Amino acid sequence: MASVALTKENIEDVIRSDNMVIVDFWADWCEPCKTFGPTFEKISDAHPDVTFAKVDVEAEAELAQSFGVRSIPTVAVLRDRVVLFNQAGALPESDLESVVSQGKAVDMAEVHQEIERQQQAEAAGGNGAA
């Protein structure tokens, strides 16, 4: 499956329409990015149930910044609009495969419950602040 170009214009549609999105932040001038590209595409072919997206950090600097990208390549995993993984560095094929498998295995109901607990705790802690 070919990856999609992720932009600030289409990110909402991409992450809403798909359960899991793997994002590769890259640039044309980045040699490690060029080396990692074929690995990213190979793993995308093995997982047609997952959307693989690429962000050109030169064209989409604002989007890269919103993910906290400081070094490229960086890989991020999103499920149900939640970032589960965000790591810089060109991952070997076996590591990227493991990241995808682990992302699929996450119990998102549990993740959403934990997020809700954290938000409630923050709200409760913020009520007493002057």
Give the residue carrying structure tokens 């149930």: 49
Q: For all residues of the chain together, what is the average pLDDT?
A: 91
pLDDT at 112: 87
Q: What domains are there in the chain, each with its CATH number?
A: 4-127 (3.40.30.10)
Handedness of CA 95, 100, 102, 103 (dihedral sign): positive
Hey, how many other C-beta atoms are within 10 angstroms of the C-beta on 64? 21
| Closest of 1, 6, 26 to residue 16, by C-alpha | 6
Please identify every residue annotated as catalytic: 30, 33
| Closest of 33, 84, 87 to residue 55, by C-alpha | 33
Examine the pLDDT at 128 and tell me if it is beyond 60.
no
For the chain, give the percent of residues with pLDDT over 90: 72
Q: How far apart are CA 24 and CA 28, in angstroms?
A: 12
The pTM assigned to this predicted structure is 0.86
Q: Which residue has the higher pLDDT, 125 or 88?
A: 88
Burial class (CB in 10 A: 0-12, 13-18, 19+), 2: exposed
Q: Which residue has the higher pLDDT, 22 or 14?
A: 22
Q: How far apart are CA 27 and CA 119, in angstroms?
A: 35
Of the candidate ranges 43-47, 74-78, 122-126, the one whose mean pLDDT is the lowest: 122-126
Q: What is the mean pLDDT of residues 67-73?
A: 95
pLDDT at 19: 81
Q: What is the mean pLDDT of residues 94-121?
A: 92
Q: Which residue has the higher pLDDT, 110 or 17?
A: 110
What 3-state class would DSSP assign to 92?
coil
pLDDT at 130: 47
What 3-state class would DSSP assign to 75?
strand
